[in-house]
């Protein structure tokens, strides 16, 4: 099944509210409508002929230190896993780091689970972009909702406010 990509600024109805506000500040973002039942990466890639190495996932991490919890987003290719307890924990200078609970991630981002994306995240969150994502000419990512996907260059993700590029895969 083919995806019909259009400029995201022309179809903000396909985006979560915080994402719709953020796409105007990022160059070249496109959106395509999908079946929301196929939003999970493996099912999406199979149905829409997108390879796993051109699809990137946004993982929300909760980092704890001294009774304080801070959140961060990590962008990795779908073929890789985020090294949460190694690279991410050390980079965030946390005593403990783990995947944020689904309910917390949804509430804090204003996005649907399975559609969370780095565009439109809370302004104080670090966005950790894996080097493989940053160097990619175009990756498919969430749109804040399960009924669409975004396509954007890795360079655009690396250029987001609060973005840091580092090797995140363990």
For the chain, the helix, strand and coil percentages under 3-state DSSP, each to the nearest 5? 30, 30, 40
> Which of 102, 130, 159, 142 is CA-nearest to residue 19?
142
Number of helical (H) and strand (E) elements in the chain, helices listed first: 6, 9
- Residue 1: what pLDDT? 83
User: Residue 169 above 90 pLDDT?
Assistant: no
- Residue 46: what pLDDT? 96
Structural domains of the chain sorted by starting position, each given as residue range(s) with its CATH number in brackets: 6-166 (3.90.960.10)
| Cβ atoms of 58 and 163 closer than 8 Å | no
Q: Which residue has the tokens 């403990």?
A: 96
Give 61-91 pLDDT, tens digit per residue: 999 999 999 999 999 999 999 999 999 999 9
- Residue 103: what pLDDT? 97
Give 98-144 pLDDT, tens digit per residue: 999 999 999 999 999 999 999 999 999 999 999 999 999 999 999 99
Q: Name the average pLDDT for the chain.
A: 96
pTM: 0.96
| Cβ atoms of 74 and 59 closer than 8 Å | yes
């Amino acid at each position: 099944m083919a995806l019909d990509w259009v400029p995201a600024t022309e179809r903000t109805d396909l985006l979560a509210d915080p994402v719709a506000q953020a796409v105007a500040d990022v160059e070249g973002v496109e959106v395509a409508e999908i079946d929301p039942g196929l939003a999970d990466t493996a099912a999406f890639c199979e149905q829409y002929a997108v390879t796993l190495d051109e699809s990137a996932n946004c993982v929300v991490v909760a980092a704890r230190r001294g009774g304080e919890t801070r959140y961060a987003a990590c962008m990795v290719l779908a073929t890789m896993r985020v090294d949460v307890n190694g690279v991410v924990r050390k980079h965030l200078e946390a005593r403990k780091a783990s995947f944020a609970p689904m309910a917390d991630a949804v509430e804090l981002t204003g996005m649907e689970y399975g559609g969370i994306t780095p565009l439109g995240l809370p302004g104080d969150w670090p966005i950790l972009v894996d080097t493989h994502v940053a160097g990619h000419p175009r990756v498919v990512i969430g749109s804040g909702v399960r009924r669409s996907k975004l396509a954007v260059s890795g360079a655009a993700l690396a250029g987001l406010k609060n973005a840091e590029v580092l090797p995140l895969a363990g």
